[in-house]
């Protein structure tokens, strides 16, 4: 098939809309549902991300995409008991592929609501079963187990979008797009992100770049390669825990992503793990309630009595001092940036979220200040010598 008609473009008034190949066949097959314009943008960007993560780490990889940027991305690292609890998968069958997607979606469950999922490996029955219970618009994978496909075809009253990518497809080296009737052309960003990249230039005093840190920085930088710029990414345990995308100021990216990383860690506090939810509460309501409980709005919500809708009893207050003390225990986090840090304030904010490893392009006139700030906190920082803007 050379062409596929779409429901509409970015918005319902933008039709007709289609995708087509100038030469050859479309490199994907729609197995169920009907794709929209944004669905396909998410599918193609997320597929590239997980394919590169698998190639770079050798581990099954997954991504959760929203509006052409990842809400989460991860490789398959076994879940701890606490992680199983915060991702609500206790007692759920776990496979390498399902574990990767559970991690990717768990990065930022609020942002992943209604996501487009991407899987580097075959979608097995366990992954399909997990997708079936979450609010998601579609999935792309290289193949599907027969049992998995049957599960997914029943989702969203039979309208769930299921796409299969041709793993042998290689796009042209030059890529084009039109803006305002004007055609842009550039060489595809084929810059390889691999282990050696983080060992060739470490300007900090601490040069102990561990294997886990390298894995996490690979996850961070490949995630950023497909995130709308400016962007930064915090990673721990093989998964993104905070992504800041599309901000005009880099320090705002660092703050936004750092706040998400903090929320991820706060969810692991015993007070949060033991919240008395009412039986049968919907997962989105539970996620929203947790986000409010760990925020500065917690006191107002508890005082106003809104807790009665989601909790069987009034939960104990989670004070600002308690949250601060819990976050002080956060450590071993890796941080990637899609370009250089222009000031040390980014490193200062990263330190507050337990960052110990950093990767950035380098090349700022204030590199000395950034290195000095990293040294103050005994961070290990790599300069990769390449900017990874994505627009």
Active site annotation includes 391: yes
Out of 67, 156, 252, 271, which one is annotated catalytic? Answer: 67
* Distance from the first to the final alpha carbon of the chain: 28
| Separation of alpha carbons 259 and 104, rounded Å | 17
Q: In whole angstroms, what is the distance from residue 381 CA to residue 359 CA?
A: 6
Whole-angstrom distance, CA of residue 229 vs CA of residue 389: 6
Cβ count near 133 (within 10 Å): 12
String of b and e for 75-102 (b: at least 16 CB within 10 Å)? bbbebeeebbbbbebeeeebbbbbbbbb
**315 is written with which tokens?**
């939960």
Strand pairing class (161-165; 28-32): antiparallel
Under DSSP, is residue 327 helix (H, G, I), strand (E, B) or coil? helix
Helix or strand or coil: residue 283?
helix
Among 54, 66, 260, 351, the active-site one is 66
Q: Residues 266, 267, 268, CA angle at the centre, nearest 5°?
A: 85
- Residue 200 sits at φ, ψ, to 5 deg, of -85, -25
- The yes-or-no answer on residue 390 being catalytic is no
C-alpha atoms less than 13 angstroms from C-alpha of 98 in its C-beta half-sphere: 19
**Residue in 32, 45, 230, 269 annotated catalytic:** 230
Backbone angles phi, psi at 129, to 5 degrees: -65, -40
15 noted as active-site residue: no
187 beta partners = 174
Q: In the annotation, is 66 catalytic?
A: yes
> Which has the closest alpha carbon to 243: 111, 85, 119?
111
Q: Give, in degrees to the nearest 5, the angle at Cα 131 between 153 and 171.
A: 80
Which of 301, 373, 302, 322 shows the shortest CA–CA distance to 343?
373
Pair type for strands 69-75 and 61-66: antiparallel
Q: Are strands 333-337 and 136-141 parallel, antiparallel or unpaired?
A: unpaired
- Residues tagged active-site: 66-67, 230, 391
């Amino acid at each position: 098939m050379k062409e596929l008609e779409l429901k509409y473009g970015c918005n319902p008034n933008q039709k007709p809309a289609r995708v087509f190949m100038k030469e050859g066949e479309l490199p994907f097959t729609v197995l169920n549902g009907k794709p929209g314009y944004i669905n396909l943008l998410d599918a193609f960007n997320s597929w590239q991300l997980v394919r590169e993560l698998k190639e770079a780490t050798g581990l099954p990889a997954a991504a959760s995409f929203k509006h052409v940027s990842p809400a989460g991305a991860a490789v398959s690292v076994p879940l701890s008991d606490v992680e199983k609890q915060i991702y609500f998968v206790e007692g759920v069958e776990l496979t390498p592929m399902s574990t990767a997607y559970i991690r990717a979606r768990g990065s930022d469950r609020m942002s992943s609501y209604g996501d487009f999922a991407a899987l580097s490996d075959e979608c097995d029955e366990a992954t399909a079963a997990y997708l079936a219970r979450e609010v998601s618009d579609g999935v792309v994978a290289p193949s599907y187990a027969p049992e998995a496909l049957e599960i997914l075809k029943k989702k969203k009253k039979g309208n769930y979008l299921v796409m299969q990518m041709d793993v042998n497809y290689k796009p042209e080296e030059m890529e084009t797009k039109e803006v305002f009737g004007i055609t842009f052309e550039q060489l595809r960003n084929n810059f390889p992100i691999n282990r050696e990249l983080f060992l060739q230039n470490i300007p900090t005093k601490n040069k102990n770049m561990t294997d886990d840190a390298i894995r996490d920085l690979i996850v961070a930088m490949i995630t950023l390669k497909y995130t709308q710029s400016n962007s930064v990414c915090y990673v721990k345990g093989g998964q993104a825990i905070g992504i800041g995308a599309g901000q005009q100021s880099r320090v705002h990216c660092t703050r936004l992503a750092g706040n998400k990383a903090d929320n991820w860690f706060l969810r692991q506090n015993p007070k949060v793990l033991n919240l008395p939810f009412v039986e049968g509460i919907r997962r989105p309501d539970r996620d929203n309630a947790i986000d409010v409980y760990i925020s500065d709005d917690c006191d107002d919500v508890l005082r106003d009595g809104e807790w009665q809708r989601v909790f069987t009893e009034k939960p104990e207050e989670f004070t600002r001092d308690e949250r601060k003390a819990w976050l002080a225990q956060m450590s071993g986090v890796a941080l990637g940036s899609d370009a250089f840090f222009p000031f040390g304030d980014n490193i200062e904010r990263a330190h507050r979220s337990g960052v110990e490893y950093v990767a950035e392009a380098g090349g700022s006139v204030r590199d000395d200040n950034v290195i000095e700030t990293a040294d103050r906190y005994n961070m290990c920082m790599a300069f990769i010598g390449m900017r990874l803007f994505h627009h």
